Amino acid sequence: MTGALDGRVALVTAGSRGIGRGVVEGFLAEGASVVLTGRSEDKGKQALAELGVGGRAHFVSGDAASRSDIDNWVAATLSKYGRLDFLVNNVGGSDGFALVHEMTDDAWLRAHDLILHSAFRATRAAIPAMLEVGGGRIVNISSVEGKVGNKATVSHYITAKHAMNGFTKAVAFEYGDKNITCNAICPGAIETDLMMEVGPKYAAENGISYEEYKAAYAKDSAIGRLNTVEEVAAMTALLCGPAGGGITGALINVDGGTAPY
C-alpha cells in the first residue's frame, strides 16, 4: 500500500465481483475508502467480509437501471464518508444476443440502461459532490468493443460502448477546467464471473463452444491471452492517482493490443 489516495473516497458501481472488485481492491491498497454497489445484498456482504478492511469499505445495493437507486448510491457515499473524489462507472453487460433484424426492443434498451444511461446518471449525481471538494476523477469502464464493430449478435453492446466513449469525451470537455477528469478504459476480454455466465450463452447462440469463444479473443490479441482484472485495476489507480491529473478525455486500451487504435 502506497497511501497515495489516503483520505479520498471512491464509488465503484458493480463492485462486488469481476473488474469492479479488482478496482475496489486497487483503491483500498492505495489508502482510499470505497463504496461498492451491486444488486445482491448477499454478494455485497460476502465481498465486504472477503475484503476485510472494516469501515474503509461499504456496500450499497441497487439496480443500475433505476435512477433513484443510482442517486442513492451517491447519497449513501456522502452520508458514510462525507465526500466523493472518484467515480468508476463499471456497470455493464447485455443479453438477448441476436442479429439486428431479430433483436428485441427489451434487449436493446436494457443494454443501454446498464451501460450508457447508468454512467450518465451516476456521473450527473457525482459531479456536484466533486465540485464541492475541488475536483475529482471519473473512470468509465468501456470495452475494446467500443472501438470496433466486428462481432455478430452484440450490436446493442457495441453501440452502447461506443456511446459511452463519446460521453467520456463530453464530460472531459465540460469539466476539465474544474479539476474533474474523465477517461474511459477499454479492456479486452477478461474471464470474470460475468463472462462465465454470459459467455457460454453467446457461444451457444453462435454455434461454438465456450472454450472456442475464449480462444478467439486470445488469438485476436498481440499478447495471445486474455487480459486480467488486475491490469484494469492498475490503470484505474493510475488515472485517479497523482500521475493521472493531466490525462482526460482519453480512451485507454487495456486489451493486449487487440484494438486497431
CA dihedral 183, 188, 192, 194 (to 10 degrees): 80
| 210 a catalytic residue | no
**What does 180-205 look like in DSSP terms, one character per residue?**
EEEEEEEE--B--HHHHHHHHHHHHH
Alpha carbon distance 181, 128 (integer Å): 14
The residue annotated as part of the active site, out of 157, 175, 202, 217, is 157
> Which residue is associated with the grid cell 431479430?
102
* Beta carbons of 32 and 86 less than 8 angstroms apart: yes
H or E element that contains 10: strand 9-12
Other beta carbons within 10 Å of 208? 13
Residues marked as catalytic: 157
